[in-house]
Amino acid sequence: MADGFEINPAGVRDFGTQLRSAVDREVIPAADRIRGYLTWYPSFGARSGSPAVQAAALRYNTELNAALTFLDTLIHNAQVMARAAEDVVKAYELGDQLSAAKMQTILGGAATAAAEAEEARVKAEQAALDADEAFMRKHNGTIQ
């Protein structure tokens, strides 16, 4: 089982784009129509002498305000969710870029270390050959 998780940035981006589009194209206009329907008529009973009618009018206005607040909150939350999806994709892509840059740094360091090791190996082999030749010259080509 692997640690962490993977996301499909294209899918999340599409979700955010589609949500934002739906909010702008459908939810906001529908909320505006609903708000218009609910607030078109004056509230009833405000001037009534009956305490029961006034209490009912107060409850109605309270519920109406709650419904309108709900619509505003729904729109706000949908916009925040769309923006969050876009932010997740940006953060994921930035993380990928940083990981790729870090990997390139690591690979570059490994390549440099490998080149230096190869250079040291070649020098060591040459030094061994030079030492063998010097030894053979010193001993007239014979090993005793």
In tens, the pLDDT along 16-55 reads 889 889 999 999 999 999 888 888 877 777 778 888 988 8
Give the CA dihedral 91, 95, 96, 101, nearest 10 degrees. Answer: 140
Say what the pTM is.
0.57
More confident residue, 126 or 109: 126
- pLDDT score of 61: 86
Q: Are 71 and 32 in contact (CB under 8 A)?
A: no
CB atoms within 10 A of CB 29: 11
Give the chain as a 3 state SS string.
Answer: CCCCCCCCHHHHHHHHHHHHHHHHHHHHHHHHHHHHHHHHCCCCCCCCCCHHHHHHHHHHHHHHHHHHHHHHHHHHHHHHHHHHHHHHHHHHHHHHHHHHHHHHHHHHHHHHHHHHHHHHHHHHHHHHHHHHHHHHHHCCCCCC
Q: What angle do CA 85, 91, 96 make, to 5 degrees?
A: 125
- pLDDT score of 14: 87
- pLDDT score of 141: 66
Instruction: Give every CB contact of residue 2 below 8 A, 6+ residues apart in sequence.
Output: none
More confident residue, 21 or 93: 21
- pLDDT score of 73: 93
**The two three-digit tokens of residue 30, written as one number:** 């529908």
Distance set, CA 84 to CA 10, 74, 115 (Å): 14, 15, 46
- pLDDT score of 90: 85
